[in-house]
Structure 1
């Protein structure tokens, strides 16, 4: 029963969480639809959404919507801040489609400022990212990039290039399953083709055909994006046919559209003024020309502020890079110097270690007698004492012990050796101290190290063994104890000794 209540509780929590996520996603999608046509509502909803706990992806989309909304109301500096925020947060989110959309928005913004090289860079990055997508998302991203590129070329009067990207989009339409994205791509393609025929080839009838097809779709859509552009495009096309009154009427319809930004109003006022002038109505033409100037000055001021801010940010970025380069110009030589000193120290130390190796091998080769044989020779050279015969006997037994390599036994100890030699530990310890000038442990360790170094020097097979095997072979219980005593006696580490021995032979 308890399990049932826990499961029920988890299901309720999941549904509440999921419904909240779905609700936020639906609101964010709606913001995308109204961001330019209803900026005040977009700003109001976005402000409330940002107070909630949103994912980085959703935050990026909200900032993006705020960017476009602020463009619509002529607050270009604020728009720039939000577009930059959207771009930065999207990059943190890891969501590829979100990155593409915000990068495209950055490209559109740079295009609006006339920074076409930056715009082209943004679109190239978006195109690269789009290759990571598939299905509907991929085609949505590609058509978005193509649309922005087409608009850029239309604004630069490069109509052939613009038409190329529009036709690409029309060929990709069949792959877009999302109805909203399909309609947006189609209407923007019709708008682009209308502009090309209207302003490029001056084919008024073709322009009217595409404008009207696009207008019919936009009028049925809830967001009505770019509605004013279709009316102004039609007005200009009718003007080419000398139908000025029809064109003026269409401009006035465009002027009545709610939420037109200052930028859009300038565009509409200039179009009306131009049509009145062509219709020889100079008084009306002047009125709308003055209106265009007022809004243009206001808009240009804000755009200039935004452009200056963009340039200042670029300057700061360049200055920071220059500082980093300046710092690197100091750090790199220092690091190179340190590297050279370390290299010199390493090779000097290597040379020193090699000398120790060579001296040790030379002494090893020159020493043909065991320590006990040397002790016996030294004892026989002096005047015999009371205990000399007993000492010689012990030394002879130690000589046999060394020859038979019994020091390799891991269990060997002072008591064990004393028992083997039929003497007591005190007497044996004194003999070792007197004749070898070392204690029992040092005596055994030196025999072991001399044994294994001779094996390494004379038998190439030993140079391929692991240090743990060498330690065990000569009688050491542990790898670490062997390494410590090896370096203490030879002056170099076992691994270095093996390396030098391999190089020598």
Structure 2
């Protein structure tokens, strides 16, 4: 009986593993169907380990859809990761988190999660898997390096990684080769070696067309290939590829790929002076752009909230562990235990207090809108005339000196209309010179407006948070609180309390804003 029970358990584990692999493969061509299977697997999970693996699976599927809010929700549901996941799974978990942070332009968090993935990669016992994840991490680091500059060192690294990839087995080799061809195609395109770049995009298309089908990489390759064709003035071929990309991205339900495909179609039809198709795809592009701006802001807020919550939980666990050790160590004397207990709690309170004060001091120095931030990614060729770009920049500067951004109805289309320009130009210029999207740009202006009011008008410190939210132009108390904390690092209530104490004690004076 015991033998039969063990056999059944082993069979169930094997079936679970096969189901997970099949779902991962399906997610590359039909993520919505893969999600249905993932939810069924999660519902039938019997152990914490199974739940953790299925949450990881669902998070990966949402990542493929570029639905970062839901991806983060499921990835952060995995608690006590070292207890429920292998080193291999932990490495993968932190890699996905890192890639999401990179796409949301959260560079500090990207590096933090990438470093965590390296720690777990180093602990993997299986040499083959250890080398696989080492190569995967190096490819991601190479992507970051290529966005800054090209050097002989970079070319040497590309060659070494290609050799490493060719030592792997078929499935893993295909996964990494697709990422490798993406990098090579983009790098040679930036170098204006368009024919060579097209060769790499074709390799990526061929790999993506093999089973399991990978619509994400296929769509990405078609977009890149079409961009090269546009530069070669082969507009008809570019349009054909972009329509295929749009079709694949719709099957993936990936808003980002749909937005890029429709945007590039607009550029091609504009050059061809095809007004009907230009209007159709421009409307589609603007619709997707609005959706992406909203979902990106939601994802950024979700990321900050989940990371903050996880840090608080880890801190609480450490404190609990320290207290337990303390009790064991000094249990001989109840009196000594009480003394140490109060001292311990006092120290924590003092550290927390110091941290809050330091955060407060940093708020006014570091969290104003950073004008003309250097773009971290290599800029794509801009179609905006230099004179037009400078006019819009000057208008933005004047706009920041007004209170128009506190209007709840303020939107990209609204401001573009005020500036006598189009949403595409305005969005691109804000992204290029401020390194943020339109929503984040407006939210930073609103938060800094309230910070100034709190510092210069004592009455504001006595107003309710709901009034401050309304005065700044936010739609609700909760959205104001979330955005305020994501930008400043502390909640508005905490900030006001510190400001009141500062005013009362008069210990901090003349803090300058560095705009």
Normalised by the size of structure 2, how large is the TM-score?
Answer: 0.56
The answer to whether the 8 Å contact 1:106/1:119 transfers is yes
Give 1:85 shift: 2.2
Query: What is the CA RMSD across the aligned residues, in angstroms?
Result: 3.4
| SS in structure 1 of the partner of residue 117 of structure 2 | helix
Work out which of the two has the higher radius of gyration on C-alpha atoms and give 1 or 2: 1
Instruction: Tell me, in whole angstroms, the C-alpha distance in 2 between the residues paired with 1:326 and 1:49.
Output: 35
What's 2:257 paired with? 264
| SS in structure 2 of the partner of residue 85 of structure 1 | coil
1:105 aligns with 2:96: yes
What's 1:25 paired with? 17
| SS in structure 1 of the partner of residue 303 of structure 2 | helix
| SS in structure 1 of the partner of residue 134 of structure 2 | helix
What's 2:218 paired with? 227
Match for residue 130 of structure 2 among 138, 151, 162: 138
1:193 aligns with 2:184: yes
What's 2:238 paired with? 247
Give 1:228 shift: 0.1
Give 1:223 shift: 3.2
1:64 aligns with 2:53: no
Instruction: Tell me, in whole angstroms, the C-alpha distance in 1 between the residues paired with 2:263 and 2:145.
Output: 21
- Greater RCO, 1 or 2 (C-alpha within 8 Å, sep 6+): 2
What's 2:274 paired with? 281
What's 2:162 paired with? 170
- Please, which runs of 5 or more residues in structure 2 have no aligned partner? 323-335, 345-515
Match for residue 203 of structure 1 among 181, 184, 193: 193
What's 2:206 paired with? 216
Residues 228, 99 of structure 1: alpha-carbon distance in 2 compared, 3 angstrom cutoff: same
Residues 301, 51 of structure 1: alpha-carbon distance in 2 compared, 3 angstrom cutoff: same
1:308 aligns with 2:301: yes
| SS in structure 2 of the partner of residue 291 of structure 1 | helix
Instruction: Tell me, in whole angstroms, the C-alpha distance in 1 between the residues paired with 2:171 and 2:313.
Output: 43
Give 1:297 shift: 1.0
What's 1:48 paired with? 40
1:81 aligns with 2:69: no
Give 1:319 shift: 7.7
Per-residue displacement from partner, 1:244-296 (whole Å, max 9, x unpaired)? 11111011111121224111111111121222234443553343232112112
The answer to whether the 8 Å contact 1:149/1:162 transfers is no
The answer to whether the 8 Å contact 1:67/1:80 transfers is yes
Give 1:69 shift: 2.7
Instruction: Tell me, in whole angstroms, the C-alpha distance in 1 between the residues paired with 2:57 and 2:318.
Output: 37
1:298 aligns with 2:291: yes
Instruction: Tell me, in whole angstroms, the C-alpha distance in 2 between the residues paired with 1:332 and 1:303.
Output: 49
Residues 89, 151 of structure 1: alpha-carbon distance in 2 compared, 3 angstrom cutoff: farther
Instruction: Tell me, in whole angstroms, the C-alpha distance in 2 between the residues paired with 1:252 and 1:90.
Output: 42
Per-residue displacement from partner, 1:139-173 (whole Å, max 9, x unpaired)? 2211221233234445x454558766544421212
Residues 314, 25 of structure 1: alpha-carbon distance in 2 compared, 3 angstrom cutoff: closer
Instruction: Tell me, in whole angstroms, the C-alpha distance in 1 between the residues paired with 2:47 and 2:96.
Output: 20
Give 1:325 shift: 12
Residues 321, 332 of structure 1: alpha-carbon distance in 2 compared, 3 angstrom cutoff: farther
What's 1:420 paired with? none
- Please, which runs of 5 or more residues in structure 1 have no aligned partner? 1-8, 340-505
Give 1:56 shift: 4.3
The answer to whether the 8 Å contact 1:97/1:137 transfers is yes
Instruction: Tell me, in whole angstroms, the C-alpha distance in 2 between the residues paired with 1:94 and 1:325.
Output: 20
The answer to whether the 8 Å contact 2:185/2:196 transfers is yes
Give 1:187 shift: 1.6
Per-residue displacement from partner, 1:413-433 (whole Å, max 9, x unpaired)? xxxxxxxxxxxxxxxxxxxxx
Residues 147, 69 of structure 1: alpha-carbon distance in 2 compared, 3 angstrom cutoff: same
The answer to whether the 8 Å contact 1:74/1:302 transfers is no
Matches within 5 A, 1:287-366: 287-314=280-307, 335=340
Give 1:13 shift: 2.7
Instruction: Tell me, in whole angstroms, the C-alpha distance in 1 between the residues paired with 2:166 and 2:310.
Output: 43
Give 1:236 shift: 1.1
Give 1:335 shift: 4.0
Per-residue displacement from partner, 1:36-79 (whole Å, max 9, x unpaired)? 43221221111111122455444333212212333455643222
What's 1:421 paired with? none
Normalised by the size of structure 1, how large is the TM-score?
Answer: 0.58
Give 1:316 shift: 5.5
The answer to whether the 8 Å contact 1:77/1:302 transfers is yes
What's 1:237 paired with? 228
Instruction: Tell me, in whole angstroms, the C-alpha distance in 2 between the residues paired with 1:276 and 1:157.
Output: 32
Give 1:181 shift: 0.8
Residues 338, 123 of structure 1: alpha-carbon distance in 2 compared, 3 angstrom cutoff: closer
Give 1:185 shift: 0.7
The answer to whether the 8 Å contact 1:67/1:79 transfers is yes
